[in-house]
Amino acid sequence: MKRGIAESYNRLVNAFVIACDTCIVGGLFHRFYHWAQDTAWEKTLQASEFQIVATLMLCYLLCAMHTGVILYRRKVFAYEVLTRVTKNVVFFAILGGGILQLGGYMDAWSKLFLAYLLAVLVCVSVFRLGLRMLIKAYRTKGGNLRYVVLVGSTDNNRELYQELTSQGWAGYRVLGYFDFEPNGHFPQECPYLGKPQEVTDYLKKHGNTHFLFCCLPSKDREVITPIIDYCENNLVHFYSVPNVHNYLQNRMYFNMMGNVPYLSLRQDPLSRLGNKILKRTFDIVFSLCFLCTLFIPILIIVTIITKMTMPGPIFFKQKRNGLNDKEFYCYKFRSMKVNADADKVQATKDDPRKTKWGNIMRKT
């Protein structure tokens, strides 16, 4: 029941925020539409106000449902909220602007639409940050709390305790910890509750427990298994905390290989097809824009200075290994004197092969 209430609360907040955002989007364009009347911007509008507003609200609704809302999360920071809003508005600009342009509703390349998008970004950001402040204040005063029990007192659970309690607005209250004996290094504010074998009895007496974090080693499986069974049957969220801080200090990410879980040191965003398409599109579009604009004057300037300061070609060609270890040639402005070790010896900070102009290029 507790888990169902939490999920219902999250869905309610999610729906409320998206609905309010969508109303803001529609209301803002209503104002912009009327401001544009009897001005030069009026020419950019080729459809009725209702058609444009309805289209924009529908497009925003779809984008917001795709990107989601993170306000209901216990520990969410302002920059994360702003990042999510920005991502949402970018998707909205592409989808909404594309439909308006292709449908002949309005000129999506106009300053009017750009000003409108900036207004959406600002207003939605202010709304979500304001709502975040209200949620934080409510939790700080004791509302919407989540009670936590720790099992084991290793470094990971000690750090976890600090993460859970360092921001009171996150709404976590740690009731205490269980271990085979009291740990003098554990914070005094977190009371010792008993041995791990006593966890289920404690949970039965304290039905308000929401989360249980266990960092006991796998050799104690006979103790851990009954705790998991009780948590699963009584809607207490059970989390296993791997104790890897004695040999790893990096941030880690959880992955699955079939049914086998494992931890990795970094995420691989390009494993997702959508990210691959996005990156490839960005690479091609951005590179073409750069090559057709800024690269031309840069090439002229570098060519003149290079020819004046050192003999040899403008570009240095070097083999590199790319996707699937496939070799390709990389072209870059030459920053060293022509030498036989260019493909063999890596450049160093005070490499005598570098020229003064080459140093400037490397630093800029």
Q: Which pLDDT does position 1 carry in this prediction? A: 47
The answer on 213 and 232 residing in a single domain is: yes
| Nearest by Cα to 111 from 59, 55, 58, 35 | 35
Among 193-197, 209-213, 294-298, 345-349, the least confident range: 345-349
* Domain membership flag for residue 223: yes
Q: Which pLDDT does position 227 carry in this prediction? A: 94
The C-alpha atoms of residue 3 and residue 187 are separated, in whole angstroms, by 29
Question: What residues make up the domain containing 71?
Answer: 2-140
pLDDT tens-digit map of 132-146: 888 888 888 887 788
Is the pLDDT confidence value at 250 over 70? no
* Domain membership flag for residue 325: yes
The answer on 196 and 127 residing in a single domain is: no
- What φ, ψ does residue 130 adopt, rounded to 5°? -65, -45
The answer on 243 and 163 residing in a single domain is: yes
The answer on 156 and 110 residing in a single domain is: no
Boundary of a domain, candidates 140, 171, 202: 140
Between residues 255 and 155, which one has the greater pLDDT? 155
The answer on 241 and 169 residing in a single domain is: yes
Question: What's the angle, vertex CA 98, arms to CA 95 and CA 101, rounded to 5?
Answer: 150
Q: Provide, rounded to the nearest whole percent, the portion of the chain with pLDDT above 70.
A: 94
Per-residue pLDDT, averaged over 254-260, amounts to 73
The answer on 167 and 153 residing in a single domain is: yes
* Domain membership flag for residue 298: no
* Domain membership flag for residue 279: no
* Domain membership flag for residue 102: yes
H or E element in which residue 119 lies = helix 111-140
Is the pLDDT confidence value at 350 over 70? yes
CATH of the domain at 204: 3.40.50.720
The C-alpha atoms of residue 218 and residue 27 are separated, in whole angstroms, by 57
The answer on 130 and 52 residing in a single domain is: yes
Look-up of token digits 């004695």: 246
Q: Tokens for 229?
A: 């069974």
* Domain membership flag for residue 200: yes
Is the pLDDT confidence value at 213 over 90? yes
**How many structural domains are present in the chain?**
3
Is the pLDDT confidence value at 4 over 60? no
* Domain membership flag for residue 302: no
* Domain membership flag for residue 273: no
The answer on 153 and 122 residing in a single domain is: no
Whole-model pTM: value is 0.60
| Nearest by Cα to 240 from 124, 87, 107, 231 | 231
Q: Which pLDDT does position 246 carry in this prediction? A: 62
Between residues 242 and 151, which one has the greater pLDDT? 151
Boundary of a domain, candidates 140, 156, 180: 140
The answer on 163 and 133 residing in a single domain is: no
The answer on 228 and 168 residing in a single domain is: yes
The C-alpha atoms of residue 263 and residue 156 are separated, in whole angstroms, by 15
Q: Provide, rounded to the nearest whole percent, the portion of the chain with pLDDT above 90.
A: 32
Per-residue pLDDT, averaged over 85-99, amounts to 92
The answer on 9 and 129 residing in a single domain is: yes
Question: What's the angle, vertex CA 206, arms to CA 160 and CA 170, rounded to 5?
Answer: 35
The answer on 152 and 116 residing in a single domain is: no
Confidence of residue 247 (pLDDT cuts 50, 70, 90): low
Instruction: Give the SS3 label for residue 332.
Output: strand
Contact of 342 with 355, CB cutoff 8 Å: no
User: String of b and e for 290-318 (b: at least 16 CB within 10 Å)?
Assistant: eeeeeeeeeeeebeeebeeebeeeeebee
Separation in Å, CA 32 to CA 120, 200, 327: 11, 61, 54
Boundary of a domain, candidates 85, 120, 140: 140
Is the pLDDT confidence value at 221 over 50? yes
Angle formed by the axes of helices 49-67 and 2-36, to 10°? 150
